[in-house]
Structure 1
């Protein structure tokens, strides 16, 4: 039995049928804090590590919530979001991916996604967005990173992926090379 076939439940059969969550993400396993938190909230959790396994869950079960990664070895998450929206139009679908950028976020929302969050995201915040909780509470506000920190992290990731080549990183970031050099000088931990 693979992780794509495992189904976890809180033990409440009536509640589980009404509040099933499909997690279509190869990085999320049975011991994940996300899975444990969802089960602790009384939700039924279906795991899929491939797009094909996620489609199989969609055919076999009724789901109320979904958390979808954008990239799979056997397909893309946008197609999966479309399939969820077509089969369960009232399903709240959250795209949670390392491949979040503006164009992917727009595609995901147009395809039927409810929200888009980049990885990594705090588990409590992620569940709050998924379940449409009031996020104005102080505990949720402190868990979302400041925009400046997100920008610095993105610049650092691109700089590292370019092998610490300033000119190449500046082209990837659509930024002047000297501007990137100044940023790197100000925050040497990049």
Structure 2
């Protein structure tokens, strides 16, 4: 990292609208030595960046009040050379490329745990990249996608089934089961 003031070296901005996840990640990163500022939306995060630019940032792509890329662009606009990670449950190649071109050093799909996020923040070029020990199964990936769409549809089964192009009863059976491993 260049141009990072010593007192900013372990400052971290976490931006996610999933409050329980944000709280867990805040505690986990504080345990790893970071001074954490947590923000639940774009406007709150931009205000935090303007008040005190962080050395590190983990930003959710889709937030209730906008796009997390606005936060990344704001960090770059204030001239801070922060190491930024984009974290999203709606991953696709286009948004990954866009995030990296605009300053993110990595792009992680949810559900990412604190160890994965910490490793991505601390990763230096030239280091061997460790593969995940327990990658998600195809069933788990499918279940996660269905859950995200279900939440996006405000827990409306009929609308979720329509968007996923599946029968409503099939969706209800899937939703009634536990998450696969």
TM-score (norm 1): 0.65
Q: Which runs of 5+ in 2 are unaligned?
A: 151-156, 167-178
User: Could you report, residue by residue, the CA deviation over 1:3-42 in whole angstroms, capped at 9, with x for unpaired residues?
Assistant: xxxxxxxxxxx97633100001121459833212211122
SS at match of 1:83: helix
Distance in 2 separating the partners of 1:153 and 1:45: 31
Counterpart Cα distance in 2 of 1:119 and 1:54: 20
State whether structure 2 residue 102 is matched by structure 1 residue 104: no
* Counterpart position of 1:53: 44
Residue 114 of structure 1 aligns with which residue?
Answer: 105
- 1:129 equivalent in structure 2: 120
Q: Sort the Cα spacing of 1:51 and 1:92 in 2 relative to 1 into closer, same or farther, 3 A.
A: same
Runs (5+) with no aligned partner, structure 1 = 1-13, 170-188
Counterpart residue number, 1:11: none
Q: Provide the C-alpha distance between the structure 2 equivalents of 1:141 and 1:74, rounded to a whole number of angstroms.
A: 32
Give the total of aligned pairs: 156
1:87 is aligned, of 64, 78, 101, to 78
Cα distance per residue 1:34-70 (max 9 Å; x no partner): 2122111221100111111111111111311101011
Secondary structure, counterpart of 2:37 in structure 1: strand
What's the C-alpha RMSD, in Å, of the aligned pairs?
3.6
Aligned-pair CA distance for 1:149: 5.3
